[in-house]
Structure 1
């Protein structure tokens, strides 16, 4: 497994994708930077990270037989790997907020961006961008729901050791994925899913407010919410948010 360390870059995902276009990458090639200048998150959001304090990295993963319709299990595998490492490092009240944010109580500590390339009905490669707040102690005012491992535990962490632990765990979960151990991944994911089976207020894309309970994830990776009339409705990424 090759690791490329950069002092600074705009985006580790963009760097890794450019690298893949011009060379043949070893599986699990990882690009990590001390200073990510233009980090990207879901839905064109920015990922803001103080230099030298956090983990910002991307992993190249190639597949031979992972179908596009199975991509939700890739999401489960990656987010669970990070969850497990943060849990092992004493993160209090951890959970996974659909689809793949890691929270401590209701504060965000990690964001994940997975960008795939396809060949027919199969996923050929994945570029997995990960940002984890580790030793950062202050955040911009507009990031009022952000936290870090140090803020939550009071401890200082070795970034290299944490990165190694996360990469090892991701490799374990990718092995489960390629062995088609889908039930285990889904069971573990649903067990730590934020607000699952808890009555919660939501807002849809039309700004309509409603009450429901998260009940699961559909075959196509959509969030399943049981409404007050017991009907289960499915929502895509841009179709629902917590109120």
Structure 2
């Protein structure tokens, strides 16, 4: 995979998006930076990262033969690839906080932002932004954020982690191309944070309710068992799981 290294950049996702417009990317390519000035998170949030202490990168992966309606399988694939990396580093109690935050013992270690590229109703590729907290020890006003160094007590080489990450991504996308969706979904669901446990959620109006995470739908909606024994499916903008 081609790797582009830059010292500082507004957003690695934006960089690859512009690059794709100019060159029509067809092969995997990664851009990695020491400092991301306007890193993006889910729902318009920003990604906090000290320069040179964490892994901040974006990867373009070509996608073929997958319908737009099945695009959440890309999110599952990426989440599992990151879990593969962190599991290899012996990080304890890994889980996926829907849709794709990666946790270790309730601390957020990795955030993922995926921008799918669609042509004529078919997925052509995905721009995958990944931020892994590696050597940073403090996070302002983010009590749930954690890093590899905090949890494992040692420094890590960012280039080594990047190399493993790119290998795991390519392995997982190879499986995705074979469209073994059922196995992929079962593995993802087995790692869901708070699955089968009574949890508190906020709805779109900011009202709280109690429910139990059951599974996800093939389109990525979260299925929650409510107090009246009804299972309801929620989209990303419709519900937020509290810790």
TM class by shorter chain equals over 0.9
Counterpart-to-counterpart distance in 2, 1:153 and 1:61: 31
Gaps of 5+ in 1: none
**Contact 1:40 1:46 (C-alpha < 8 Å) held by counterparts:** yes
Offset at 1:230? 1.6
What is the CA deviation profile of residues 31-51 of structure 1, one whole-angstrom value per residue up to 9, with x for unaligned ones? 000111110011000001111
Residue aligning to 2:152: 153
Counterpart-to-counterpart distance in 2, 1:35 and 1:114: 19
Offset at 1:26? 4.7
Gaps of 5+ in 2: none
Query: What TM-score does the superposition give when structure 1 sets the normalisation length?
Result: 0.96
SS of the residue 2:168 aligns to: helix
Aligned pairs for 1:43-82 (under 5 A) are 43-82=43-82
2:178 counterpart of 1:179: yes
Counterpart-to-counterpart distance in 2, 1:26 and 1:151: 38
Counterpart-to-counterpart distance in 1, 2:45 and 2:147: 19
Aligned residues: 242
Counterpart-to-counterpart distance in 2, 1:219 and 1:179: 16
Residue aligning to 2:136: 136
2:41 counterpart of 1:41: yes
Task: Name the Cα RMSD after superposition.
Answer: 1.1
**Contact 1:116 1:125 (C-alpha < 8 Å) held by counterparts:** yes
Query: What TM-score does the superposition give when structure 2 sets the normalisation length?
Result: 0.96
**Contact 1:176 1:182 (C-alpha < 8 Å) held by counterparts:** no
Counterpart-to-counterpart distance in 2, 1:180 and 1:127: 19
Residue aligning to 1:29: 29
SS of the residue 2:63 aligns to: strand
